[in-house]
A and B are shown apart, each in its own frame.
Chain A
Amino acid sequence: MDRRYLLKNSLALGGLVGLGGCATPPRAPAAKAAPNVPIEDRVPPLAPIRAHTDRLFDIKVCIRPFRTKGPNLDVEQIGDAMVLHNYGHGGSGWSLSWGSANMAVQKAMSASPKQIAVIGCGIIGLTSAITAQRAGAQVTIYARELLPRTRSVRANGSWTPDSRISLAAEAPANFGATWEEMARMSWKTLRSYLGLPGNPVTFTDHYRLSDTPFGQPVPPDPSIPPLPPPTWAGAPTQESDFGTYADRIGDLTPKSQVLTDDNNPFPVKHVSRTTQMFFNFTEYGQLLMSNFYAAGGKIVMRDFHTPGELADLPEKVIINCPGYAAHDWWKDKAMVPVRGQTGWLIPQPEVNYAMTYRNVQILSKSDGIMVIALEHGDLKGYNDSDESVRRAESERAVRVIEELYSRFPSVPA
């Protein structure tokens, strides 16, 4: 153990002594910041994460509703019903939901309907329904599942507005502008959910840890099996095949800040920090459901099997938000399943940060500490519709974090 850690350890002990009989658990030490690190930029004490595989109390698997051409926002006539599609948001549904809903509802209201039907009760369906209510319509949601049992709640749930949102070569030329409009409208709407009890929407610091200097290629991890080659023409083979649009809204989010050695509490050489928005599923989901009911919203549990069934609904303006179900229900060939898995460690309210290290992402939420294996980046899970749990993957990710904390100095009881 080098002198730096001992210094940190003594700082941590000081912190504990200062807390007296308080029940707050021990915290990893704050770095001993040099005077030239501005006080507001110094890393605060960070509570350690109890990263052990036996604390994995849930593992969730979802299929991202990825659409190679970007989300389907087309208008279609089914019988005498006007159907406004709103599906195919890939890994960006939670982020883009309000903006996408706004676009769909604007088109819907052009017919001046008194009643609107919304198909699906994931995050896209629910935000579409609430947006339609706010536009003055009476809304009925038709869904086979409700939050929290929809695939939405098996996602990451962070502000990731251009995560697997299109294939660059297949998205329409104007999609960047559409995306930007969606993202900015969502961002504005999400502000009204900040600061509420339970923090349905909130921000956290995110530390990126690297054993090698940033910008240099990371050596492959021999314990991670290589990705099998794609099985059909047109499949993405590199991350740059996906559409990226984040630069268009670079003014909304803080830049990444590299931490100097004297401001780095981690036993890892290279660390940067940014601050990101994320969603607490329980609080946010329940709040949206309550908002929907409070505005007179009705829910009908129903499964649809053919597009023609929509013509039988009493509402003649229908916002269609089926998520991945569009793959089979609407036979949308542009829909590609992209599997994602999140492991959940028992919640630790005292942990108030996110972290990425050795292809593992950790994010402390109110309903658990989310652990995601990130190896292979955006190519991971592409065209994989297997929703069964792969526990070994989550356990491996937990062990990476467990090993990281084992390198912190121990704090005596």
Chain B
Amino acid sequence: MIKTLKGSVMRHKLILVLMACAAASGARAGTWNGVYTDAQAERGSVQFQQHCARCHGANLAGTFETPPLVGRFMPYWSGATLDTLFDYIATAMPLGSPGSLSRAANADILAFILKANNFPAGAKELSGDSEELKAIRFDAVRPPPETAPKPSRKKNAKRK
């Protein structure tokens, strides 16, 4: 247990370091950095209603049998890079005719799903390119802004 916790803490530290490096280099480090555009999500919405809503519901809430694409969708898919989710959509979906949509259409749909999960839009469209997607972390929680001052220990202690 101790070993696991220690590993977990170390992983988190590593993630923070990697995120800081990516931000410093100007790379789109994570899904909170505006990795799609509103126009793209709009296109994705049309595709979603056409190909996905039949099972996942127009509001992405899923059904008794079909998984939702909001809510618990976050713990299920976050923590990896975005190519993992994209590859699943591109190869396994739509369930009745898997792999039938173009990479561009799947990128649009993914943009729509990100928007539905309250990730902010940005200035550049989400690409369907595996390498580019691999550079984007799917973070469930917005990482703290780089410029934000570190809360002092004293303040924390006071809260307790």
Contact = CB atoms under 8 A, between A and B. Distances in A.
Interface string A358-389: 00000000000000000000000000111110
Contacts of A144: 67, 76
17 contacts: A61-B65, A144-B67, A145-B67, A149-B64, A301-B75, A305-B80, A305-B88, A306-B84, A314-B4, A327-B92, A328-B88, A328-B91, A385-B98, A386-B96, A386-B97, A387-B66, A387-B95
B160 interface: no
The 4 closest A-B CB pairs, nearest first, are A386-B96, A303-B76, A328-B92, A305-B84
Contacts of B64: 149
A246 B68 CA distance: 40
- Of the listed residues B54, B64, B65, B84, the one surrounded by the most CB atoms of chain A closer than 10 A to its CB is B65
Interface in A132-180: 144-145, 149, 154
A388 B54 CA distance: 8
Given A144-B67, A305-B84, A388 B4 contact: no
A60 interface: yes
A301 B67 CA distance: 13
B110 to A, nearest CB: 14
B55 interface: yes
B96 A149 contact: no
Contacts of A388: 54-55, 96
A341 to B, nearest CB: 12
A328 B75 CA distance: 19
B72 interface: yes
Interface in A318-346: 327-328
B96 A387 contact: yes
Given A154-B65, A387-B66, A302 B76 contact: yes
Contacts of B65: 60-61, 149, 154, 387
Nearest to A145: B67
A301 B74 CA distance: 12
Interface in B112-135: none
Interface string B54-94: 11000000001111000010011100100011001001100
Contacts of B66: 387
A7 B64 CA distance: 48
Interface residues of A, number: 19
- Of the listed residues B4, B54, B67, B96, the one surrounded by the most CB atoms of chain A closer than 10 A to its CB is B96
A386 B96 CA distance: 4
A387 B64 CA distance: 12
B96 A385 contact: yes
Nearest to B54: A388
B47 to A, nearest CB: 17
A387 B55 contact: yes
A144 B96 CA distance: 20
A381 to B, nearest CB: 12
Contacts of A387: 55, 65-66, 95-96
Contacts of B80: 305
Nearest to B80: A305
A386 B93 CA distance: 10
Interface in A292-314: 301-303, 305-306, 314
Nearest to A327: B92
A2 to B, nearest CB: 47
A154 B4 CA distance: 37
A314 B7 CA distance: 11
B95 A385 contact: yes
A306 B88 CA distance: 10
A305 B80 CA distance: 9
Contacts of A61: 65
A306 B97 CA distance: 22
B8 to A, nearest CB: 10
A181 to B, nearest CB: 33
Contacts of A386: 95-97
B127 to A, nearest CB: 20
Given A302-B76, A328-B92, A388-B55, 9 more contacts: A144-B67, A154-B65, A301-B75, A305-B80, A305-B85, A328-B88, A386-B96, A387-B96, A388-B54
A303 B98 contact: no
Contacts of B76: 144, 302-303
Contacts of A327: 92
Contacts of B55: 387-388
B57 to A, nearest CB: 12
Nearest to B93: A328
Contacts of A328: 88, 91-92, 98
A326 to B, nearest CB: 12
Given A149-B64, A149-B65, A388-B96, A301 B72 contact: yes
